[in-house]
Amino acid sequence: MMSLAKSALIVVDIQTDFLPGGALACYQADSILKGVKDLVDAQYFDYHIATQDWHPAHHISFASQHEGKKAFDTISLYGHPQVLWPDHCIKGTVGAALDPTINWDNMDLILRKGCHPQVDSYSAFQENFNQKGERPTTGLAGYLKEKEVKNVYTVGLARDVCVLWTAQGAKEQGFNTFLIWDLCAPVTPDHDEITRQLCQEHGIQIIHVADIRY
Ligand code: VGL
Ligand code: ZN
């Protein structure tokens, strides 16, 4: 039986704490909201998926949990580098809420990540390394593959962290992977160059929203 290639949009972490005034506000993050809203409203893709960073209080990624450390310090955690963040996206708080600009009713799936107290999770596909040296899957690759999705498009926050890791995860799982550059905002624009380089190295195609005719 013939099957047509399907596409999915993954809208990453568009939450109060990553927007202006939030605990971990990304650079000019409000500038992407209208574009993401319009793209989601168009329902152009076969599947629309969102992620929501959803940490317990006292999460291991919070600088507040590490004596003598401050936000944006890097430590070694289970043998891998871990950036320490300000307390953010604590489950059930206003900071963790999805921004109401986007019509979340139009999502097929909303995936929460970073729920384990001792493990961070940037990618929508896999948690970061845990105590056992594993990266547990979220099940998203299986979900998309069962639906015969071949093309994955990523937007959201933060371009240099969770969007990038999600795009890398998508590519590793064999999807044709696109990062819509102007529908993402970074923690810091200082990372723009390295983000572009990493996309190129990993075979992630950087595009702009104008490239999508919807
Ligand atoms: C993120 C840092 C910590 C993100 C989440 O959504 O990019 N960044 N937690
Ligand atoms: Zn987080």
Is the confidence at residue 1, as pLDDT, over 60? no
**Is the sign of the CA dihedral 199, 201, 205, 206 positive or negative?**
positive
pTM: 0.97
Query: 3 falls in which pLDDT band (50, 70, 90)?
Result: low
Ligand 2 centroid–CA 2 distance in Å is 41
Active site includes 46? no
Phi, psi of 8, deg, nearest 5: -135, 145
Q: Match 């795009």 to its residue by tokens.
A: 167
Domain-wise residue ranges, the chain: 7-59+88-211
Mean pLDDT value of segment 75-80: 98
Strands (E), 13-121: 47-53, 74-77, 80-83, 109-113
> Are 72 and 83 in contact, with CB atoms under 8 Å apart?
yes
Query: CB of 27 closer than 6 A to ligand 1?
Result: no
Sheet holding 47-53, edge to edge: 109-113, 47-53, 6-12, 149-157, 176-185, 205-207
* Euclidean distance between the first and the last CA atom of the chain, given in angstroms as a whole number: 28
Is the confidence at residue 173, as pLDDT, over 80? yes
- DSSP string of 171-200, one letter each residue: HHTT-EEEEEEEEEE-S-GGGHHHHHHHHH
Interval 128-152: pLDDT, tens: 999 999 999 999 999 999 999 999 9
Ligand 1 centroid–CA 61 distance in Å is 10
Interval 25-44: pLDDT, tens: 999 999 999 999 999 999 99
From 19, 85, 116, 179, mutation site for ligand 1 pocket: most ligand atoms within 8 A of C-beta: 85
- The residue annotated as part of the active site, out of 99, 113, 171, 184, is 113
Active site includes 171? no
Ligand 2 centroid–CA 3 distance in Å is 37
The architecture in CATH of the region 7-59+88-211 reads 3-Layer(aba) Sandwich (3.40)
Is the confidence at residue 2, as pLDDT, over 70? no
Of 3, 32, 5, the C-alpha closest to 13 is 32
The two tokens of residue 104 are 């979340």
